[in-house]
Chain A
Amino acid sequence: MTDLLSQGCPEKQNSDPEMQMQKIIESVDISKAFGITKALNDISFSVDESEIFGFIGPDGAGKTTLFRIIATLLRPDKGEMKVLGMDCIAGFKELRKNIGYMPGRFSLYQDLTVEENLNFYATVFGTTVKKNYDLISDIYSHIEPFKKRLAGKLSGGMKQKLALSCALIHKPKLLILDEPTTGVDAVSRSEFWTMLAKLRQHNITIIVSTPYMDEAMRCDRVALIQNGLILSVAPPQKIRDGFSRKLFMIKAHEKYKLIIALRKYPDTVTAYPFGDSVHATFADNHINESLFRFLSEAGLSNVTAVETEAGIEDRFLELMQNVR
């Protein structure tokens, strides 16, 4: 499943060398609590120019809180957040001109048309649609035929494209996308990532959060986030390499029975369903006849087992288990 989404991840575009030195985001020990709930715990990371930097983690991990701090919409309790070289609290006015933020929830004006929304955002930022049309033409052209339609009447995929157009219309240096593909079908998700890759050509830095592990493969670097902690930051390939055991892909005719049986097998460390197979790890890192005998005694037929490469989701499951 990762294969399709991992295609077409172009090399980073080079800008002039001096600019490359600049960190677009520098987060040092950022913490934020809501009552007794600690949403973020000493979060530190940095993002380079023109990077697509992904935050991968489940609902409630702290992604939205972090993004709202970066977008100057929320103050951290502790720590320092610098964006485009400016402090997020002291420099919020200047920063807002240079940030494009697409929140997780559709937040455009439902009772304005597509065209009216776009014009409105352009005007608020002191620019015009015409001036920056180049930047959005790829995305906006998909919805332009419906420009007289009310935003509230658009389908999920079209709303997403309009929201992205509005977030881009003032040509921001940093684009913040909070779960832009949640609830979006597999075809539209793939298209959306192709669009993001193209934006890099305009030197726009993108931070993006998603619960879809496969999308991580299309980022330059990925932070795995869970319970307000960053578990790992690395290029996606490196994160996969961190998997600590040998991983086996096991198939049988009856999947559910296979999972149950594998969990009962004494040497099994983990067994998770993965598409049409079960991904399992074993204490001694190999499989032998006794496993097949065990599964056959459990009433399973057509059992196959081969070693396989761990994907990013395998590694995430492993890291999550250590945290719990």
Chain B
Amino acid sequence: MDNRVIVVKNLIKKFGTFVANDNLSFDVFKGEIFGFLGANGAGKTTTIRILSGLSSPTSGEVTVAGINASKKPEEIKKQIGYMSQKFSLYEDLTVKENIMLYGGIYGLSKSLIKERTDSLLEKLNFLEYGNKLIADLTLGLRQKLAFSIAVFHDPKIVFLDEPTGGVDPITRRQFWEMIYETAARGITVFVTTHYMDEAEYCDRISIMSEGKIVALDTPENLKKLYNTATVEEVFIKIARPVNN
């Protein structure tokens, strides 16, 4: 395949009569930071669940890391990392135990886990926290760790579902620097956020409304197209139909 890591063609997902994803088509490239935006209830989570092999499309063609999502959803899970604000780590396990658990689930050898754990803790300035319970860490530290664990097995793509909700502005910025670094390593970052300033950090963004993608381009081009100064203004213009 070319350098497309996600290929979506005419994706439709229905729950009963409700159309959650209405004929989506888009591509995401290797090493790209792709912002997946939309109002609450626009259908973003449904798409992410399909892209990560947790749900299958009603119709359409979805390929993730070269794997067909309808035929081999289990295979996709090995190729991706996932982190959300709501759930990321086991609070009653220590930092090291969490790393070991995830490393083991993804089938890394013990020696490789040990080696990567040491370098990860050092890189994050986390050496003193190795044996601390997750419950004792601040949200900011947890989120940084959760992200590192989501890319611990060198996935092709990492999905981040509102990774920075409620995090302080300094940590939020450090988090984005980790995202940049990861993308520079060739890992595709697929991210949702409600912080519209963060949307500006993405290479390209899509905006979803009522199950459809209503805009997809670089932040710069979208601002030009809608003649606005910020992505937030673009979002407010198009993310939601009137009277909802």
Min CB distance B235 to A, Å, is 5
Among A173-199, those with CB < 8 Å from B are 179, 182-190
Instruction: Please name all residues of chain B whose beta carbon is closer than 8 Å to the beta carbon of A4 when the two chains form the complex.
Output: 232-233, 236
Residue of B nearest to A58 (CB): B168
Taking CB atoms and an 8 Å cut-off, the chain A residues in 154-170 that contact chain B are 155-157
Q: Interface-forming stretch among A40-48, A75-83, A242-250, A272-280?
A: A272-280
Rounded to whole angstroms, the CA-CA distance of A182 and B193 in the bound complex is 11
Please indicate the chain A residues that have their CB under 8 angstroms from the CB of B53 in the complex. Answer: none
The reply to whether B177 and A316 form a contact with Cβ atoms under 8 Å apart is no
On whether the beta carbons of B197 and A1 are closer than 8 Å, the reply is yes
Contact: B40 with A182, CB < 8 Å? no
Q: Which chain A positions have C-beta within 8 A of B200?
A: 275-276
Complex CA gap A254/B72 in Å reads: 37
Cβ A276 vs Cβ B220 within 8 A? yes
Please judge, given known A-B contacts A184-B194, A259-B177, whether A213 and B169 are in contact too, CB under 8 Å.
yes
The range of chain B's interface size is 35 or more
Is there a chain B Cβ closer than 8 Å to A62's Cβ? no
A184 in contact with B40 (CB, 8 Å): yes
Task: Enumerate chain B residues within 8 angstroms of A234, measured Cβ to Cβ.
Answer: none
- State which residues 109-130 of A face B: CB under 8 Å: none
One of A156, A187, A320 near B168 (C-beta < 8 A)? A320
Return chain A residues, CB-CB under 8 Å to B231. 275
In the complex, what distance in Å separates the CA atom of A125 from the CA atom of B229? 47
A317 in contact (CB, < 8 A): yes
Residue A256 at the B interface, CB < 8 A? yes
Set of chain B residues within 8 Å of A183, measured between Cβ atoms: 40, 85, 162, 165, 194
Indicate if the CB atoms of B168 and A57 lie closer than 8 Å. yes
Bitwise, B219-240 to A at CB < 8 A (1) or not (0) is 1100000000111110110011
* B197→A274 contact, CB < 8 A: yes
| A316 to B166 alpha-carbon distance, docked (Å) | 15
For the complex, give the distance between the alpha carbons of A276 and B234 in Å. 14
**B236 nearest CB neighbor, chain A only:** A187
Interface flag for B216 (CB, 8 Å)? no
Q: Closest B residue to A316 by CB, please name it.
A: B169
Known: A156-B40, A157-B40, A188-B40. A211 touches B167 (CB 8 A): yes
Nearest Cβ distance between residue A15 and chain B, in whole angstroms? 33
CB pair A58–B194 under 8 Å, yes or no, is no
Q: Does A59 contact B (CB under 8 A)?
A: yes
Which residues of A have CB within 8 Å of B168?
Answer: 57-59, 61, 211, 226, 320
Which chain A residues lie closer than 8 Å to B120 at the CB level? none
Q: Per-residue 0/1 for B163-198: is the Cβ within 8 Å of any A Cβ (1 yes, 0 no)?
A: 001111111010011001000100000000011110
Nearest A residue to B223 by beta-carbon distance? A276
- The answer to whether B7 has its CB under 8 Å from any CB of chain A is no
Q: Is residue A313 within 8 Å, beta carbon to beta carbon, of the partner chain?
A: yes
- Report Cα–Cα, A1/B184, bound state, in Å: 28
Interface residues of A in 38-78 (CB under 8 A from B): 57-61
A105 to B168, CA, bound (A): 19
Complex contacts, B173 vs chain A, CB 8 Å:
272-273
Contact with B along A275-316 (1 / 0, CB 8 A): 110000000000000000000000000000000000001001
Q: Which residue of A lies closest to B209 (CB)?
A: A187
Which residue of chain B lies nearest to A213 when distances are taken between CB atoms in the complex? B169
Residues of A within 8 A of B233 (CB): 4
Is A107 at the interface (CB under 8 A from chain B)?
Answer: no
Docked pose: A182 CA to B184 CA in angstroms: 30
Closest 10 CB pairs of A and B: A58-B168, A59-B166, A155-B41, A59-B139, A275-B200, A256-B180, A156-B40, A185-B39, A276-B200, A275-B197
Instruction: Give 16 A-B contacts (CB < 8 Å), ordered by A residue.
Output: A1-B196, A57-B168, A58-B167, A59-B138, A60-B139, A157-B41, A183-B162, A186-B194, A187-B39, A187-B236, A188-B40, A211-B166, A259-B177, A273-B177, A275-B230, A320-B169
Q: Known pairs A60-B140, A188-B40, A211-B167. 18 more at Cβ < 8 A?
A: A3-B230, A4-B232, A58-B166, A59-B138, A59-B167, A155-B41, A183-B40, A183-B165, A185-B240, A186-B235, A255-B201, A259-B177, A272-B173, A273-B177, A313-B169, A316-B169, A320-B168, A320-B169
